Every structure is written in structure tokens, then in C-alpha cells.
């Protein structure tokens, strides 16, 4: 087979592959298209056109839909399953093209080998170079085929997973419907049939639980297939399940001329859906130093804790949201020992993309301080009202790095001219030693004009574990 014959054979094979299943599609607007039908759902049909490429249209827009041959066309559900079906189609097309390229490369190599056996003089060198080029082409083609085969296997697995999720979701809906009907029968049952109705309710409740478990298994398989971790809550207990949670721990110490230890702990959690967001933060710092190993008494330099809980309410199709927050602080070295801050007001989501999340908040804050000491004397607890304005931002630098910054200012309304400013900066870098483990650097600054020590600046390094 010479080169011209080889080219014509390959072209005819490619054309036969592309148009073996070509059908005429007549649209309601009068257009007619020669297409290859790929996939159908209950309401749409997806086809491949030589110029338009892959297109999906409503079945109602096709004038001759009842005349089309849909045998062999994949029937899938809308949504994720449909998308997975199209991905499989594309993967199989690439696999077909890769197989054609491998066969062409093999045929070309055979042709070049034959030319080499009959070559003479200068032609031998040229024939050897052509054979080497064909060998390299074949190696490249075979590698592409291996990649294409793997892509088809992965696409089939993903399609099956999405089908399992769809089936499990339908099971949940059906079980819930049966439970609703059983409860309705129980409400309407008389004394004779009450026991039978209660049995139906118990059976329906069991079906709902079983269906939910099947759905969780299917969703877990989908996450595993995508390389995502399955969230089973804190230490697998189910607590804070479906929350993005993390624990951080930092410890340093020394024992020589002096004994000292510095400890910082933290637990953070975030839950968000279309209607609400919960943010929980907590931290604890402790620093102590002793004169020597036998002194028996340490000098505590820092002993403080913070617990923050924020609830956001989202509005449909709006960047505006409402929030309420409660903050508890304990500090052994402030003018007060305990402080509670309660805030509420509006917020605005400035940006929310895969790279940036920026939100601003404003509102009013009630501040309650307890166990205040002035000149060594105990003073009554105080209550103050403050305004609040600030922002928080998260930058996803890479898949493994995140940069988080927030700054909130609280001008005092009760005591004019006084204010405090809270700034927080964190940098988190995931490491591959263990799943969920990361390094965290945190900087915190509190400037409060009403305190004896106006400015407090802290920084710490810690290991973070996300779950």
C-alpha cells in the first residue's frame, strides 16, 4: 500500500466513522441538518454537526423527532448524569481517533520498512530516517491510546456513579412519599386500624433511613472518584458533619537557665448553603516562664481565650445578607477578665469566586465587660454600645495555599472618641505528610484606646488539621 492509498483509506475510515449514524434533523424554523445523534434526555436531544459541533436542543424544536432513529442513542437524565454521558461520548470519540492513529502509524511503519529493504545508495539514509520517524509516531500514538483508554474507563465510572446518585435520590423521594402517605393514614385511622397504620409508618421510616444511607454511599463514591475527601465529621463521630472544620495546635518550650512554655490552640468550623452560613472560631493562648527548674512557680505572661459564633442569612438573588454574631473573650491581663460582644446588621458579598471571597459588614455592637479593675480595686461591670464596620477576605492563591485577612473597627457610641480596631491575618499551606494537614501562620492585632495597654500584637505558627 503506497502513501496515496494509505491516505485515502484513512480518510474514508474517518468519514465512515463520522457519518455512519448521520440523520437528517428538521427544525421547526425550517432548517435541515445532517447530524449524528449522541444523547437524549426526557426533554432534550444532543447531536454532533460537522460545522456547529456538539449542540443540545429541546425536542419540541424538532419537527421530525418521531421519525428519527434513536436506537443506540444514549438515554440519560438531565443534570450531572447527562453531562457525564456527554463526557463519555467525547472520551470514546478520542479513543476511536487514537486507535485509527495507531493503525495508521503501524501501516506507515510497514511501508517504510519495505522501502528500507529496497533502498540503495543515498536512499538508505533517507529510508532509515523515515523509518525512525514512523517508529516515533507509533510510540506517540500508542501512548495517546493508553491515555484515551484510561479516560474512557474513568468516564464510564463517573457516569455509573452519577446514575447511582440519581437512583438513590429517587429512592429517598419515593420513601419520603410513602412515609407521608403512611402518616396520613395514621392520622385518619380509627382504633381498629391504628396498629396497622403505625406499622406502616415504622416501615416507611425504615425505608427513608435506608434510602438516605444509599444516597450517602453514592455521594461518597462520587467524592472518592473526584479525589475529594469524605466528610464524616470530627474524628468520624458525625459531629460537625458537612462543615469545613479544622484544629490547629502550636507548642514551644525550653528548659535551661529559665523554663518557659508557649501554647496556642484553635478550632474553626464553617457551614454554608444557599440560605445561610455558620462561622465558628475559637482560640486559646498561654505563655508562662519560670526562673529555674526548682522555683516551683511560673510567671504567666499570657492567658486568654476567644470564642466567636456568626450566623448569616442570605437573600435570594442578592449580594446583601443579614448577620448576627456573639463573641466571648477571656483575658487575665486586660482591664477586664471577661468580655461579651453581641453584633447585628447587614452585610454585602463583594466577590465570591473560586479565587476570591470578599464580604463587608456593618452594624451595632453591645459590649459587656466583667470584673474590671482600676488601681487594683474591683469595679462594677460595664455596658457600652459601639458601631461596627469592616471586611473579611479570602484569597485561594493555589490549590494548596490560602490567605485570609479581616479588619473591623468599633467606634464607641457610649464613650465618644474611643474606638478599637481588630485585625487578623492568616496564611495556610497544605502539606502532603498526612491528609488534611497544613502549616498555619497567624497574625493578630488589637488596638483599643480605652485599655491601659492600648495595642496588643501577636503572631504564632501552628500545625493545622482539616476534616
Q: Is residue 287 part of a domain?
A: yes
The pLDDT of residue 25: 87
DSSP structure string for 390-418 = EEEEEEE-SSSEEEEEEEEEEEBSSSTT-
**Domain span including residue 452:** 235-466
CATH number, residue 439:
2.40.160.40
Question: Each residue's pLDDT tens digit in the chain (467 positions)?
Answer: 444 444 444 444 444 444 446 888 888 888 888 888 888 887 788 888 888 888 888 888 888 888 888 887 877 777 777 778 778 888 888 898 999 999 999 999 999 888 888 888 888 888 889 899 999 999 999 999 999 999 898 888 888 877 777 776 777 677 677 767 767 766 666 666 667 767 776 776 777 677 666 666 665 655 554 444 555 555 555 566 678 888 998 876 665 556 678 888 999 988 888 889 999 999 999 988 765 444 445 687 888 999 999 999 999 889 999 999 999 999 888 888 899 999 999 999 998 888 899 999 999 999 998 887 666 566 678 899 999 999 999 999 987 899 999 999 999 999 988 999 999 999 999 887 777 789 999 999 999 998 888 898 988 889 988 87
Cα 17–Cα 20–Cα 22 angle in degrees, nearest 5: 120
Phi, psi of 99 (to 5 degrees): -65, -40
In angstroms, the CA 322 to CA 327 distance is 17
DSSP state of 229: P
Regarding beta strands 401-411 and 382-396, do their DSSP bridges make them parallel or antiparallel, or are they unpaired?
antiparallel
SS3 436: coil
Instruction: Quote the pLDDT of residue 258.
Output: 61
CA distance 173 to 183: 15
Give the cell for residue 171. Answer: 429512592
Report residue 417 CA to chain centroid gap. 44
Contact between 415 and 384 under an 8 Å Cβ cutoff? The reply is yes
383 is a domain residue: yes
| C-alpha dihedral, 378 to 381 to 387 to 389, nearest 10° | 70
- Residue 451 inside a domain? The answer is yes
Q: Does residue 112 fall inside a structural domain? A: no
DSSP three-state, residue 126: helix
Identify whether 409 is part of a domain: yes
Q: Report, in angstroms and rounded to the nearest whole number, the Rg of the chain calculated over CA atoms.
A: 34
DSSP code for 318? -
Residues ≥6 apart with Cβ < 8 Å to 199: none
pLDDT of residue 384: 92
In a domain, 124, yes or no: no
Residue 263 neighbours by CB under 8 Å, 6+ apart: 250, 251, 284, 285, 286, 287
Question: How does DSSP classify residue 385?
Answer: E
Q: Based on the structure, what is the number of domains in the chain?
A: 1
**Residue-level pLDDT at 389:** 96
Alpha carbon 244 to chain centroid, angstroms = 10
Query: Is position 2 within any domain?
Result: no
User: If we measure between CA atoms, which residue out of 36, 37, 53 comes closest to residue 45?
Assistant: 37
Say what the pLDDT of residue 418 is. Answer: 93
The closest alpha carbon to 232, from 219, 159, 104, 47, belongs to: 219
Nearest alpha carbon to residue 386 among 424, 342, 348, 452: 342
Is residue 158 in some structural domain? no
pLDDT at residue 188 in the model: 67
Amino acid at each position: 500500500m503506497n502513501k496515496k492509498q494509505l491516505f485515502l483509506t484513512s480518510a474514508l475510515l474517518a468519514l465512515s466513522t463520522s457519518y455512519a449514524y448521520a440523520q437528517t434533523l428538521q427544525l421547526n424554523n425550517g432548517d435541515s441538518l445532517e447530524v449524528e445523534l449522541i444523547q437524549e434526555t426526557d426533554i432534550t436531544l444532543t447531536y454532533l454537526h460537522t460545522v456547529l459541533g456538539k449542540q443540545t436542543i429541546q425536542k419540541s424544536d424538532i419537527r421530525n423527532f418521531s421519525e428519527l432513529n434513536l436506537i443506540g442513542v444514549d438515554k440519560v437524565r438531565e443534570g450531572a448524569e447527562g453531562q457525564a454521558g456527554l463526557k463519555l461520548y467525547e472520551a470514546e470519540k478520542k479513543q476511536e481517533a487514537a486507535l485509527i492513529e495507531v493503525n495508521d502509524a503501524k501501516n506507515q511503519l510497514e511501508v517504510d520498512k519495505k522501502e528500507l529493504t529496497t533502498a540503495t545508495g543515498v536512499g538508505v539514509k533517507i529510508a532509515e530516517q523515515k523509518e525512525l520517524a514512523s517508529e516515533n509516531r507509533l510510540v506517540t500514538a500508542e501512548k495517546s491510546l493508553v491515555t484515551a483508554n484510561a479516560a474512557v474507563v474513568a468516564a464510564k465510572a463517573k457516569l455509573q456513579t452519577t446514575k447511582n446518585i440519581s437512583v438513590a435520590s429517587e429512592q429517598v423521594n419515593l420513601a419520603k412519599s410513602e412515609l407521608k402517605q403512611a402518616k396520613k393514614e395514621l392520622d385518619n385511622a380509627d382504633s381498629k386500624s391504628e396498629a396497622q397504620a403505625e406499622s406502616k409508618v415504622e416501615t416507611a421510616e425504615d425505608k427513608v433511613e435506608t434510602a438516605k444511607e444509599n444516597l450517602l454511599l453514592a455521594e461518597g463514591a462520587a467524592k472518592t472518584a473526584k479525589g475529594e475527601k469524605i466528610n464524616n465529621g470530627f474524628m468520624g463521630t458525625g459531629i460537625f458533619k458537612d462543615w469545613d472544620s479544622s484544629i490547629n495546635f502550636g507548642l514551644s518550650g525550653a528548659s535551661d537557665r529559665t523554663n518557659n512554655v508557649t501554647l496556642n490552640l484553635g478550632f474553626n468550623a464553617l457551614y454554608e448553603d444557599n440560605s445561610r452560613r455558620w462561622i465558628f472560631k475559637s482560640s486559646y493562648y498561654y505563655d508562662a516562664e519560670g526562673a529555674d527548674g526548682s522555683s516551683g512557680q511560673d510567671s504567666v505572661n499570657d492567658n486568654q481565650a476567644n470564642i466567636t459564633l456568626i450566623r448569616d442569612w442570605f437573600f435570594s438573588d442578592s449580594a446583601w445578607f443579614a448577620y448576627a454574631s456573639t463573641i466571648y473573650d477571656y483575658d487575665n491581663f486586660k482591664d477586664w477578665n471577661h468580655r461579651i460582644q453581641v453584633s447585628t446588621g447587614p452585610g454585602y458579598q463583594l466577590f465570591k469566586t473560586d479565587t476570591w471571597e470578599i464580604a463587608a459588614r456593618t452594624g451595632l455592637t453591645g459590649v459587656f465587660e466583667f470584673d474590671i479593675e482600676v488601681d487594683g480595686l474591683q469595679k462594677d461591670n460595664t455596658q457600652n454600645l459601639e458601631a461596627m464596620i469592616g471586611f473579611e477576605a479570602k484569597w485561594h492563591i493555589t490549590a494548596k495555599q490560602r490567605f485570609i485577612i479581616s479588619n473591623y473597627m468599633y467606634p464607641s457610641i457610649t464613650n465618644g472618641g474611643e474606638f478599637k480596631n481588630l485585625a487578623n491575618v492568616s496564611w495556610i499551606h497544605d502539606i502532603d505528610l498526612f491528609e488534611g494537614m497544613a502549616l498555619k501562620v497567624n497574625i493578630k492585632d488589637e488596638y483599643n484606646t480605652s485599655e491601659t495597654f492600648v495595642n496588643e500584637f501577636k503572631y504564632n505558627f501552628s500545625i493545622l488539621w482539616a476534616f
